[in-house]
Amino acid sequence: MKKILFTVLFSALFMTLNSCIAMKNDVDMAKSELRAENSAKMKILEENITKNVTNSLQEEVAKLNARLDEIEKTQQTEKQMQKNKIDLSFETLEELRETIKELNNRIDSVDLKAQKSGVVEEQLAALEKKIAEKEQEIAKLKEEIDSLIEGFKPVDKFTITKDGKVRLPESSEKSYNQLVDYTKSANCDPAIARKGWEAYADKWPESRKCDVTFWTGETYYMEKSYNKAVETLQPIERNYPGCQKIERSYLHVAFSIFHIGKVDVANAILESMKQKFPKSAFPDEVKELEKLIQSKMPKKAAPAKKAPAKPQTKAPAKTQTKTPSKTKK
């Protein structure tokens, strides 16, 4: 009985062993087939990945360029920018960051699968370079957004921003006084001062028109743009008859015309100014201009001095002497 049982168990074990060996051979064969199939699929996959990733990344970069163009167009309208530009820019910035993050993730995954392909590596390097450029553009955009945000904050004093723009306080009186102080200061940049007066005129177009015109003309006078100074200052009397800056504008028009080289015209303006303002508020400047004009005016020749008349003395009367008559012989 035991022999029979042993024989049966041995036969069953033998059959199981044969079955395992056959199964192992099948598994090895299936593995070989799978490896071959996987190798073929990997080649196809690498080609598809290269093509798809390149196309996809090019589309993404094109989208980024289009979106940046859209942002630049949006920045051109200051009023709309004041209402919704900042929020829109931040949303766009976040979208760009997310897009770049996604592109970086794709590049990492492609790099793991296609690191043996030199072509793909070159394309990825080019894409990484483009992404770096976009990141720089985003950083620049962020600086512009920060500048815009700073630009919407009210200021307490006359301010010149990093990009050369002028910011004024919300009070027209405070802005005017600070602009006058800056224009008269020793470290004044006439071009910046002129921007300030232009900003003042834009912000309060009906306020202090004569004063704004005068100080704008002064900035030209300060930088020795005498033709521009005359062009700006000369119409003040006609346009603003009651303006307190008329005499000063007269004076600086005369100075400007003198420096242009028209001495006679400058002298005529000075004489006209003396009649209009007999008691000048700027006597020192008037005297200075007179001296300058006199130094350039041709000197009149002094009349020749007459020699003192000599006292007339009467000549002694001549005595007539009679010649003795010849005696006749």
Find out whether 161 and 147 touch, Cβ atoms under 8 Å: yes
3-state DSSP helix/strand/coil % of the chain, to nearest 5: 75, 0, 25
Counting the structural domains of the chain, the total is 2
| 2: pLDDT strictly greater than 70 | no
| 317: pLDDT strictly greater than 50 | no
pLDDT bucket at 129, cuts 50 / 70 / 90? confident
Same domain, 230 and 247: yes
End of a domain among 91, 125, 152?
Answer: 152
The CA distance from 74 to 82, in Å, is 11
Same domain, 89 and 165: no
| 107: pLDDT strictly greater than 70 | no
Same domain, 169 and 144: no
Of 102-106, 138-142, 311-315, give the lowest mean pLDDT range. Answer: 311-315
Whole-number mean pLDDT of the chain?
76
User: What token pair was written down for 82?
Assistant: 């004041």
Element (H, E) at 159: strand 159-160
Strand partners, 166: 160
User: What token pair was written down for 236?
Assistant: 């003040």
Residue 322 lies in a domain: no
The CA distance from 202 to 221, in Å, is 22
pLDDT bucket at 320, cuts 50 / 70 / 90? very low
The CA distance from 173 to 181, in Å, is 12
Query: At 199, which CATH number?
Result: 1.25.40.10
Same domain, 196 and 64: no
Could you tell me which of 91, 55, 97 has the C-alpha nearest to residue 70?
91
Residue 69 lies in a domain: yes
Could you tell me which of 145, 226, 212, 152 has the C-alpha nearest to residue 179?
212
pLDDT bucket at 328, cuts 50 / 70 / 90? very low
| Domain span including residue 108 | 8-152
pLDDT at 173: 92
pTM of the model: 0.50
Residue 314 lies in a domain: no
Tell me the range of 10-24, 79-93, 253-267, 310-324 where mean pLDDT is highest: 253-267
| Structure confidence by residue, pLDDT tens digits, 159-170 | 877 777 888 888
| Structure confidence by residue, pLDDT tens digits, 227-258 | 999 999 999 999 999 899 999 999 999 999 99
The CA distance from 15 to 22, in Å, is 11
Element (H, E) at 167: strand 166-167
- Largest alpha-carbon pair distance within the chain? 237
pLDDT at 318: 45
pLDDT at 175: 92
CB neighbours of residue 123 within 10 Å:
19
The CA distance from 249 to 233, in Å, is 6
Residue 234 lies in a domain: yes
End of a domain among 125, 152, 179?
Answer: 152
Q: Which residues make Cβ contacts (< 8 Å) with residue 93, sequence separation at least 6?
A: 138, 141, 142, 145
Find out whether 96 and 67 touch, Cβ atoms under 8 Å: yes
pLDDT at 12: 66
How many CA atoms, within 13 angstroms, populate the side-chain half-sphere of residue 41? Answer: 6
Same domain, 204 and 75: no
Share of the chain above pLDDT 70, in %: 64
Find out whether 218 and 185 touch, Cβ atoms under 8 Å: no
